[in-house]
Amino acid sequence: MTGAADPAEEKDGKDKGRWTFKPRQLDITWGGDSKYWKMPEEGTDDPAELLAVVWLEIKGSISEPLSKGKRYALSFKISKTYDDPVWETYPVYMLAKVGKKGTSNWEKINLGELRVGDIIEIPSEKLLFTVPEKAKDTTLLFGLYELWSGEWKEGLRIHEANLSALKMSSSSKPHYEADPEKNRYDKDNNCWTFKPLDFNIIWGSDKRYWNLPDPDQQQSSADDTAPVELVQVCWLEVTGTTGKTPVKPGRYRIKFEVSMKGDAFGWNCPVYVIAKSGKKGRYSWKKIDLSEVKTESKSVPPDFQIDVKDQPDNTIYFGLYEVWSGKWKGGLRIHKAIVEGPLPQT
């Protein structure tokens, strides 16, 4: 028996791009049966309390279309009344998609660490999604689920769900572009050093996603300049180029110096360092695992090299990428990158 959203409770919850869904505005599977859920009284702000279910399914939707090209944040506000060990073992999943045929965005959430009585928003960084520009159906469908364990669970309270439209950055250009005329080239050692502001960073000018260091500090030649810090992105793309400085033929080593903040997340997916010589050159790549990087800085990859041929265009293009998983990740610090060579022949 499903506790369908009560039309009488569906008063206008939006306020300048914000929507709030109280428990009676959500479709809760078995919510209409008092053996499984304790639903709040009409007209109150009390939570819905899970008494015991195997199939946890809480869904919501909005009938009005969302704005194409706009970014939104979705979250549930929850608490626990009881430390059910099931929450330690099995995660819940939060899903959202735009349109019935849209692609689902999802986040896995572990409720085991939530203390009884604490009211929190999940996921901690919210579930972020963008409405496609070409979408024909822009209505939102979302939910909170645990359907797969087959275990009975209890002690969860659902206070509300929240949806908000995110404001665009005040910068007209959300991506950060390095000055191509500034090139830290050491002629004696035939080595290029790239500090944080020497990279091109997708979404780098948007403070919701990246924290850039002070430009004045970057003018220093010292090695202890502040890194660029990733707040959170789905599309990780940080690139650099040797620019107009001639590159001698030979073999070159490319490495990034990185570290992680203590609250870093989302690095259970491979990251790639990719490079080529010349705009029409063939790419070389190296897969790296950043989940092993701690708060101390580390050079990655350990030994990634490319060949530069004697040709008119031998500019080196390189970058750090994770654009395939669709997962959100944050907490990465990029201190610098080094391109060095030609290396001695072995």
Alpha-carbon distance of 340 to 193, in angstroms, equals 9
Q: How confident is the model at residue 5 (pLDDT cuts 50, 70, 90)?
A: low
Per-residue pLDDT, averaged over 46-67, amounts to 94
- Nearest Cα neighbor of 177 from 195, 152, 203, 159 is 203
Domain 185-340 fold is Jelly Rolls (2.60.120)
- Nearest Cα neighbor of 58 from 85, 77, 82 is 77
Half-sphere exposure of 264 (CA within 13 A, CB side): 19
Contact 37, 30 (CB under 8 A): yes
What's the confidence (pLDDT) of residue 9?
A: 43
Q: Please give the mean pLDDT across all residues of the chain.
A: 88
Three-class SS string for 182-224? Answer: CCCEECCCCEEEECHHHCEECCCCCCCCEECCCHHHHCCCCCC
245 pLDDT higher than 60:
yes
- pLDDT tens per residue across span 167-197: 654 445 788 999 877 778 888 888 999 999 9
| In the chain, % of residues over pLDDT 90 | 60
Cα torsion through 294, 218, 179, 335, rounded to 10: -10
Q: How confident is the model at residue 63 (pLDDT cuts 50, 70, 90)?
A: confident
- With a threshold of 0.75, does the pTM exceed it? no
Per-residue pLDDT, averaged over 276-299, amounts to 94
Q: How confident is the model at residue 216 (pLDDT cuts 50, 70, 90)?
A: low
- pLDDT tens per residue across span 80-103: 998 999 999 999 999 999 998 888
Q: Where are the domains of the chain?
A: 2-165, 185-340
What's the confidence (pLDDT) of residue 170?
A: 44
Report the CATH superfamily, name and number, of domain 2-165.
Answer: Galactose-binding domain-like (2.60.120.260)
- Nearest Cα neighbor of 261 from 285, 293, 222 is 293
What's the confidence (pLDDT) of residue 174?
A: 81
- pLDDT tens per residue across span 256-273: 999 999 999 999 999 999
Helix (H) or strand (E) holding 298: strand 298-300
